[in-house]
Chains A and B, each alone.
Chain A
Amino acid sequence: MGINFSKVNFSYQTPKKKRAIIYNLLDINLNIGEKDEFIAIVGHTGSGKSTLVQLMNALLLPLDGKLEILGTEIKKKTILKPIRKRVGLVFQFPEYQIFEETVLKDIAFGPKNFGVVSPEARAREVAEMMDIADLLERSPFTLSGGQLRKVAISGILASDPDILILDEPTVGLDPFAKAELLGLLEKLNKEYRKTIIIITHDMGVVSNYAKRVIVLKEGSIVYDGDKKGLFEKEDLLKKYDLDYPETVELLKAVKEHFKIDIDVNKHSIGEAYQEIIRAFGEKDEH
């Protein structure tokens, strides 16, 4: 179960004879669990992140290879609606997909399409969870950017997907709204045991929230594993076009400047702080 890619290739071009295809995704092998995973997909612009997640809820179909989503193999004639209900995809800037007159109606739109028994009740439930219950009767076009983002994500959550995919959910949000949103995703992951997959450029988000990291480069998966293993690698930037989290950058600079023995692989501000205290304490003893 879950999502299984085996030897999947994808191209936006339609293959024709005599023409070399430029692959947007090449030889993807990937297993994603149905429950409990928190995956961050990172990679440089144009590395195929958005394409990969669109394959995950069958908005795009693989050119060749085998793609299995929640036990159903995806082929040309597969009925996709049930799959899209169970794998929710929130696009970048999801506020653009809102169109109904009231927030309530818009959140209920997805569940209604998927044939959920009482879409409005479900919408209210999700709104409560997302802390936007007071906005339900308002027109979406009177809301602020952060509120709209929450409404849009609620619209996907309302269909109660098992796997929730978000394409750069925190872009354009202020730090407070960002932390709130990520906290919510963490809650969904921990309490409701949903698999969360986020695309992000922010390595701080990766280090603080993700359990597993997938790195894409030029359409191929170059790293798939836990975040510790990733950040321990030297020359992340050169090899994968990635940045280190800010705390790691800071600790590295401290190590360089003061020439002391310090573990740079600390990802939260608290841990980094403790590490600096510890390292300087040891130094003073000498």
Chain B
Amino acid sequence: MRRMNTNLVFGQYYHTDSWLHRLDPRTKLLGTIFLIITLFLLENTLLIASAFFGTLILILSSKIPISKFLRSLKMMTTLLLITVFFQVFFNRGNVLVEFKFTLTVINLLIIIFLLVLFLLSRKVIIRHRFFLFLLLVIVSFYLQTIVTSGKVLANYSVGLYEDGLYLALKIVIRIITLILLSSLLTLTTKPADLNTGMERLAKPLKHIGIKVSILSMMISIALRFIPTLINEAGRILKAQASRGIDFKEGKFTEKITQIISLLVPMFVISYRRAYELADAMEARGYIPDAERTSISLLKYKARDFLTLVFILIFFSTIVVLKVMDYAI
């Protein structure tokens, strides 16, 4: 029988048998880093767009359903919207469209009335509050263009600038490409492999006294315990709900008690788990500083070599062109 919570596994790995899945994690890590740097070196909109299409081709070759990528984009929509908003309205330049608004006593009163109505309707209309609010904002601006009678309080205009739109477009494509590239990495590589890859890449750091193997052990344990702790938190929430805590409601002071009633048990559980795990690891002979062999041996194959060489050539071409002041 499946439970929702236990399905929640950190990392988004999606298994198919594409060439991207077969690549060595180190290749993918380095490749992704270089591609992202390249992406930010590009200035020309056409080139950025082609980078976007290149990424799309990579995505198609990974045989992973597009919906998985859309999900990670979805999480960033708010960020994208805010970016677009600021770029569009705060970049001066050639005016594309200009909206003129007049704030008068009458439409101000209507707007206030609508706002009060919106706040009072909280108990009646529960769903789609955000869209209702959006509608309210649009209606109140629209009112300022049609209802112009009454004592005028203020005249103002909001312009849409060409440069702003252009810049916004560039930034949006860049961010989307960035998200897609990094999702491509996490979707085609298991978290454990990714961790091993990072450990290997960071190995030279031990010469300057950084204990890479310990760091990577810490990261993999942390990743491993995220779903477990989420499960535990769900259980504690339910247990406290049985003791009469309503996490959805309550005044501010009650909220504090509610949070404490979740946090204290979570701390206790985490500490307990940590001690138990430490004992279990020691019992199986884990010594932090010892040289350890890994169960997943990473082997560099011809395709890894080819991929990396190709990406490096691509990257250095862009850098050289950039240094030579070509408009890219």
A-side residues, CB < 8 A to B, are 12-13, 22, 24, 46-48, 54, 57, 59, 80-81, 84-85, 88-91, 94, 96-99, 109-110, 113-114, 141, 155-156, 159, 218-219
Contacts and interface: CB of A to CB of B under 8 A. Distances in A.
B242 A99 contact: no
A48 B269 contact: no
Nearest to A110: B243
B3 interface: yes
Contacts of A47: 1
Contacts of B245: 113
A99 B260 contact: yes
Interface stretch (B216-224, B233-241, B296-304): B233-241
Contacts of A114: 244
Contact of B235 (A12, A24, A91, A219): A91
Contacts, number: 68
B235 A96 contact: yes
A97 B265 CA distance: 6
Task: Output the residue of A12, A59, A99, A141 with the most chain B CB within 10 A.
Answer: A99
A24 B2 CA distance: 8
B1 A46 contact: yes
Given A48-B1, A97-B236, A89 B264 contact: no
B244 A85 contact: yes
B268 interface: yes
B265 A98 contact: yes
B261 interface: yes
A97 B244 contact: no
B246 interface: yes
20 contacts: A12-B4, A13-B2, A22-B1, A22-B2, A24-B3, A48-B1, A84-B242, A84-B244, A91-B242, A96-B235, A97-B239, A97-B240, A97-B243, A97-B265, A99-B260, A99-B261, A99-B263, A109-B243, A113-B243, A141-B268
Nearest to B250: A113
Chain B residues touching A, majority SS: helix
A177 B238 CA distance: 26
Question: What 7 pairs across the A-B complex have the smallest Cβ distances?
Answer: A113-B244, A99-B264, A97-B239, A110-B243, A46-B1, A12-B4, A89-B242
Contacts of A99: 260-261, 263-265, 268
Nearest to A111: B244
Interface of B: 1-4, 232, 235-236, 238-246, 260-261, 263-265, 268-269
A47 B238 CA distance: 20
Contact of A59 (B1, B242, B260, B269): B242
B79 to A, nearest CB: 26
A20 B6 CA distance: 19
Contacts of A80: 246
Given A12-B3, A24-B1, A99-B265, A54 B244 contact: no
Contacts of A141: 268
Contacts of B238: 54, 59, 91
Contact of B236 (A48, A57, A84, A96): A96
Task: Output the residue of B2, B235, B239 with the most chain A CB within 10 A.
Answer: B239
Given A22-B2, A48-B1, A94-B239, 16 more contacts: A13-B2, A24-B1, A47-B1, A81-B244, A84-B242, A90-B242, A96-B265, A96-B268, A97-B239, A98-B265, A99-B261, A99-B263, A109-B261, A113-B243, A156-B243, A219-B1
A194 to B, nearest CB: 16
Task: Output the residue of B2, B242, B264 with the most chain A CB within 10 A.
Answer: B242
Given A22-B2, A96-B236, A159 B243 contact: yes
B123 to A, nearest CB: 11
A98 B243 CA distance: 11
B242 A88 contact: yes
Given A98-B265, A99-B264, A84 B1 contact: no
A99 B269 CA distance: 11
A94 B240 CA distance: 10
A96 B239 contact: yes
Nearest to A59: B238
A57 B242 contact: yes
Nearest to A109: B243
A156 B244 contact: no
Contacts of B4: 12-13
B2 A81 contact: no
Nearest to B242: A89
A31 B282 CA distance: 51
B225 to A, nearest CB: 16
Contacts of A24: 1, 3
A59 B236 CA distance: 12
Contacts of A48: 1
Contacts of B239: 91, 94, 96-97
A163 to B, nearest CB: 12
A80 B246 CA distance: 9
A55 to B, nearest CB: 12
Contacts of A57: 242
A44 to B, nearest CB: 10
A13 B3 CA distance: 8
